[in-house]
Amino acid sequence: MTMITQLERLESAAVLATGLLLAAGFAAPSAFFVVAPALAAAASGRSLLWARTPLDLPILLFLAATTLSALFSPFPGMAAGSTALLGVLIYLGYGVVVRSAARMSDFPMRMVEAMAAGTVAAAVWGIVNHRVTGMPADTGGGYNALGTMLVLGLPLLLALAVRRRGWGFLIFGAGAAVTAIGLVLTFARGAWLGGLAGLAVFLACVPRPIRLLLLALLLLTLAIGRFGLTGAVPALGARAESIPDLTLNRDRIAIWRAALQIFRDHPVVGTGLGTFTMVYPRYRLPEDREPVPSRPFAHNIFLNIAAEGGVLGVLSFASVIALALWWGARWIRQSPADEGVIAAGVVAALVGVLVHQQVDGTVMRFHIGLGMWMLLGLISAGAARLRRGRREGQAV
């Protein structure tokens, strides 16, 4: 075995470990272990780049837009640092996943299994914390952050349950049930909406008998959870009833209005990535009654990027997401049945996370953003496999 091959194996193992630790909030330290073998391999003559994918161009345009924004930002140091961190995030979450998938045909499945296993562990940890403290389920990074990661992992667990069947169905189905209970106990309303969206997408992609079986499993899980967590039910009900209440959510609406005004005042390149917290106090409306002096993000991923990156940033980011969903749909439709189920789980996870980010901004944090870019990397790996198969078919 050559040194290059050993380093490639170490890199792939580090990526899988990062996926395993993702949901609990410990992926960031693990992710940087990916850098060491990559740099060592580069010193031995291997390129740090990955094979070309359909998302490369819009990703490069997004990075170019954020770089341009940093040049014209009123806070250039902060914006440049955030842009550099975004580049690292994309490389670790997207590029290394794509490169590992190109080397190992079973890597996407292993990655999904690692992320799913980590999700169950995080859900158990959150549930235990809730039972001990009486507070929303949390692993130390905040209940909204845990909610995002459980939204990401739930469709992956369901996909593995459908694909494995037999004992595998029971094991991964039980993991999905635990994750669903953990998600409910985060009290994160946006995560609930994201979880429902991801579930709807996944169920729409599987055959009707399996769909009915999974729905029955989830309903049974919620019924058992309600029986076992009787004390939390009234608070959960009140939390759910507050979702459509505009009066109770006036602070969130005020942040969105302020973000729109920031965009109007900086329409082309925005204020610079990561600068919302610096700019927001000047645009804060009286309806935002939170005691904190500023906000770290706009509680909507597209409004946040529009404010910080202007029209160039938001259009390039939207093109990344739109193209990923388009290729994800093709991956689901054109893959063999077992692979198509995994593809449906990955796409559903991305949709769930994005729905949550319409009312939150947890992906602005490194380890959660890493999860989103890993999902995008898995979709790109699936797209690359489809393109290779089509070229090989044409060659024959």
Residues 342/73, Cβ–Cβ less than 8 Å: no
Report residue 225's pLDDT band, with 50, 70 and 90 as the boundaries: low
- pLDDT at position 395 over 60: no
Q: What is the pLDDT of residue 202?
A: 95
Q: What is the pLDDT of residue 231?
A: 65
DSSP 8-38: HHHHHHHHHHHHHHTTTT-HHHHHHHTHHHH
- pLDDT at position 391 over 70: no
Quote the CA–CA distance of 309 and 266 in Å, as a whole number.
9
Report residue 226's pLDDT band, with 50, 70 and 90 as the boundaries: low
Quote the CA–CA distance of 229 and 50 in Å, as a whole number.
48
Q: State what percent of residues in the chain have pLDDT above 90.
A: 60
| 130-to-141, 143, 153 alpha-carbon distances in Å | 14, 10, 19
Residue corresponding to tokens 């190109």: 102
Mean pLDDT over all residues of the chain?
88
Q: Exposed/middle/buried for 384, CB within 10 Å: 0-12, 13-18, 19+? A: buried
Report residue 42's pLDDT band, with 50, 70 and 90 as the boundaries: low
Least reliable range by pLDDT among 79-83, 99-103, 298-302, 391-395: 391-395
- pLDDT at position 1 over 60: no
Least reliable range by pLDDT among 141-155, 212-226, 297-311: 212-226
Arithmetic mean of pLDDT, 99-120: 93
Residues 179/157, Cβ–Cβ less than 8 Å: yes
Residue corresponding to tokens 């990526």: 15
DSSP 45-67: T--S-----TTHHHHHHHHHHHH
**pTM (predicted TM-score):** 0.93
Q: What is the pLDDT of residue 229?
A: 63
Q: What is the pLDDT of residue 324?
A: 97
- pLDDT at position 89 over 80: yes
Arithmetic mean of pLDDT, 243-259: 92
Q: What is the pLDDT of residue 392?
A: 52
Quote the CA–CA distance of 112 and 225 in Å, as a whole number.
26
Q: Which of residues 76 and 393 earns the better pLDDT score? A: 76
